[in-house]
Each structure stands twice: as structure tokens, then as C-alpha cells.
Amino acid sequence: ATLQAEWPEHVAALQSEGIETAQNAPQGLAIVGMTGSIDNDMWGTDSTIGFDSALARIVDAVDTLTSTARSHQRSFVVEVMGRRCGWLALAAAVATGADYVLIPEAPVANWRQSLERAVQRGRDAGRRKSIVFVAEGAVSLDGQAIRSEMVKHALDQSQESESRITVLGHVQRGGAPSARDRVMPTRMGVAAVDMLLNMDAESEPMVMTTAGDQVASKPLLYCVDKTRQTGAAITDRRFEQALRSRGPAFHDLLQIQFGSTPWIKPPSAQRKLLVVNVGAPAPGMNAALQTAVRWAGNQGVQVFAASEGFRGLLNGNVRLLSWQDVDGLAPMGATILGTNRYVPDPDLPELKAVLEPYQGVVLIGGFAALQIAPAIQAHVPVVVLPATISNNLPGTEHSIGSDTAFNVICEAIDRLKQSAVGSRDRVFFVEVMGRRCGYLARTAGIAAGAEFVYTHEEGVRLAQIQNDIEDLLRAFDSGKSVAIVLASDGASDAYDIHTLARMYGEESKDRFDTRVCVLGHLQQGGRPTAADRLLASRLARAGVDALLDKQSGVIGEIAGLTVVSEFDSLSADVQCRRPSQQPSESASVLGLALPR
């Protein structure tokens, strides 16, 4: 606002000095901001630019620490950034299954005793290590700063083994941005320019915000003022106000963290839930299982799990899971339960019999889970936690596993680009999963700066291919030396990735050569990203709560809120196995990689 008010004076001063570029400068200034902060401390937005990348680095570091902590039965105090905001510490604690977290918004009475009790309960439950997160701005209930050294001292006083401190510091700020931190800023940048073109010097300054996967905007000064109020509330020890200002997602994670602690008494055998995986494996399935077992157990409910999906269930391969049985699952890829695409006949008599002992069923999986769920609902309440890298289920913006696959694709393309630095004049054709759902191809196309993206939704036509080749030749004539073409593995029966590469190569006029890279099942493997772990935890917690309320439906997240959608309210293209309505990226976003 100050810059906007003073702008005419600055322009006049530059013009009086004879600065040539200032002669035609506008006399007014329109402002649209985008918040870059790894702390995620801006009011009014779900995520600031850089937060997901910093969280990924923290989680990677703690995953590495966990192995040495377990081998030595040692406690680690991990200090992360967040002077006036506990987002990084809290999100990392949930994503890694930490024992305890200290953040500025939610101090507890006698934090030392609370910490010692939490760590000891974990050791009594069978844990061989302890992880405690400390935000650099953590305070006690009386407003006194809590330092990592103080936490270490408290742990050393309460246990035989010596604890260690790890301060991640500016490691959290460095490195390549995550896939999500490439796509959302790109979307916001396009929206910001569109907004600026419709503003004038008298327009109120705005800031771009996010609500889940949706880009929005709010008055800049209002958001800045609310952010300052949050910091003041922490300073003045008005912690409830500070906690409310962080929004429902922050509050949900806080409940998950402190509601997933070791059980004081075993769950009752009178209430039982069943977990079954359905469909292809997706990173984050284990994190969903871990939260479901622990959250339900703290509600006094037993959780049973079927191995190998419905085949295992019908064969009686079911077991009761304890708190310790699921310890350490969140960082693990794939699923310890096993999974497959088999779904039983809805009229199979044995199906009703095997479901009879349970008061609710949690299905973790993709389209197959959605198809069998109504048949299960006829016997017992059932919820579906969307888990598929293709992100092709209705009722949610993101499915468990899709963010991990998204990051795998982006990392692979980064490597492909680097390999072409020396050879130059090369076009890489990259095939990604998704079949007839183009989510992975579209979003990876934005994140990786692909020149062209081919999906089943948009179709692949000969005339389009010809135009794209001509555009690419002009780009190479203008100095481009490396290009990326992305395609879903089911984009077209006639023009698959190899056919596209041959067509481009034939028409290239020796201006570039082509290479094909099919990523295949690499996209289903690896440790789940922090975002997938958090999504899995939120959906699992909401799913258990829904079943305890005797609700059925798909548990998803839309516009930053967790929702339960009844099965008959969802619209899907069953033949193509994708939602009837999908977000489509504008040409202005997907066309940014080519010179104009």
C-alpha cells in the first residue's frame, strides 16, 4: 500500500533525472502479491510457496534419522523453522509419526511432564526410538521460549539413553522445489497476471491464495493484518485465537498428532472395523492404515485388516492390529497388507457372512473400491479412502499416492533434461500412467515445463500433431535445444508414445532427434511424499469418524476441506474410469514452455 501511494512520486523523480525507461511509466500502480514463505504463516491461504518443498526436506531428513535412532534406541530432538508458526513442525510430526511436537500455537501445561509421559508411553508400547519436533518459536503456557537444549535436558533426565539434537536450519530453504511448489505458483502466476490486466491504479491490492487445489485471491492488506494479529496473539498468550487463525486443516493435524498416541487401555472387542485394500498399490496406503488403527483405537474401537484384499478376506486371512503393529508404517511405500484388483460378486453369499462381525469397513483403493462399495453398504457402513496414483476418483481433488507419483515424474524429467545438456537438440517423449485420466500428464506437464501434453480427454488428432511439430521446429530455430513431450499411457490407441516419437522424428528435418522414456511402475514405488502421508492421515481419521457415526461414502478433500460424499451423489465415466468432470489446465498454462 505504501508503494502504491508513493508510486507517482517515484516515477516523477526518475523522469526528472532523465531516466529513459521512466518516461512512459504508468502514473498508477496495480498490485497482486504471491506469498513465498516456507513457514506457511500467511493468513488466508492453505499453503504458501515453498512450504511443501521445505516439509519434504524435513521429512526426508527425519526418515533417515529414524534408522539410526531405532538401532541405538535413542531419542532425537529435531528443530525446524517456524518462529511464529508451527505448521512445519506439526505437519512433519504427523508425516513421520513423531512422539511429540512443541509449537507456538498450542502450548500445554507442564510441557516437560507431558513430553516425558508421551515418550515413555511410546517406549512401553514397544518403540525403540523417539522423535520430538520443536518449532524454533515454541513457547510454554506462560510464554517462555522452549529451546531444543531444554527439550534434550528433559529427555535425558527421564531416560537412561542420551538424546541428540538435530537442527535442520537453512537446509529447509534450499534445493529444487517439489512438484506441488512448481504447479501451484504457476497457476497463481497466470491468475495474477489475468487479474492485473483487469485492475487499475485505484484497485485494492490483492494476494493470491489457495484453498486445496483451487486458486483464489483476497485483499492483501487484510491478510497481512490478520497474519500480524496471529503473531500478536502468540506474544500475548491468546493461544486459542492463534490456533483458530491457522484454520481447520491445522486443527485437524493437531488432533491426529495427539489422538494417535499409544492406547492407555486396549480397545473394546464390542466394536470392530475392517480395513481392506482394493486395486493397484499407491504410496501412502500404509500411512492411512496407521492412522486408522491408532485413531480408532483411541476411540475404543478394534481394527482388523485383511491381507491380499478381498481374496484374503474371503479366505479368512484377517488379523487384529495393535498400536505397535502399525508403528513406522507412514514412511513405507506400497502396502504391507498387499492389494489386488479382485472384487467379489456383490451377490456372493459369503460376502455378507465375512462382513457380519464388523460395524464398519474402510476400503483403501481406486475405482474398484468405488464400484464394490455400494454392495458392501447393503450390509454394513463403508467408506472409501481414494488411493490411486492416477487421481481418477470423483469426490476428491487428490487421491492418496498421486503426489508421490507426480514428484517421481518431475524428478525423472529433471534428469532427462540434464542428460540432454551436452547432446542438445533432443526431444524426449515421456509416457506416464493414468490410462484415460490425464491428471498426471497435465500436472507434470506444468511442473516440468513440457512443450506438449497428450491426454485421452483432449484427444490426439493428426492435424494437432502436425501443428505441434511445426511449433516445435520454430522453437528450435529460435534457440531451444531440449524439449519434453508428455503423454498418458492411454491417450490414444493409434498414436502411442512410440508412434508420436517416430512422427516427430520423421518431420524434424534433422533439426532434432527423439528419445522415448516410459516411466512405468516407477511411478507406483518409493516412499510416499509428506503430502501423501498427510492426506492419508486426514482421510483415515475422517473415515473412522464417519463410520462411528454410521455414515457411508467417499472421503475426500475439496477446496481444503475434508468431505464425505454419498456414493449415489458422485458422477463418474465408468468406461474411462475417471470423474465426469475434471479440472482442465488452460492453454496459457500448458503453453508457457514455447517461445511466443
What are the catalytic residues? 39
DSSP 162: P
CA angle 134, 139, 144 (to 5 degrees): 135
Residue 28 to residue 203: CA distance in whole angstroms: 10
Residue 474 burial (CB count, 10 A): 12
Amino acid at 101: V
**C-alpha cell recorded at residue 238:** 491468546
CA angle 180, 539, 519 (to 5 degrees): 45
Query: Which residues contact residue 224 at a Cβ distance below 8 angstroms, ignoring those fewer than 6 apart?
Result: none
Query: Which residues contact residue 216 at a Cβ distance below 8 angstroms, ignoring those fewer than 6 apart?
Result: 208, 209, 210
**C-alpha cell recorded at residue 257:** 498428532
The answer to whether the CB of 166 falls within 8 A of the CB of 58 is no
**C-alpha cell recorded at residue 353:** 457372512
Query: Which residues contact residue 274 at a Cβ distance below 8 angstroms, ignoring those fewer than 6 apart?
Result: 303, 304, 305, 306, 313, 318, 355, 358, 360, 361, 362
CA angle 154, 287, 438 (to 5 degrees): 140
| CA-based radius of gyration for the chain | 26
* Residues constituting the chain: 596
CA of residue 425 relative to chain centroid, distance? 35
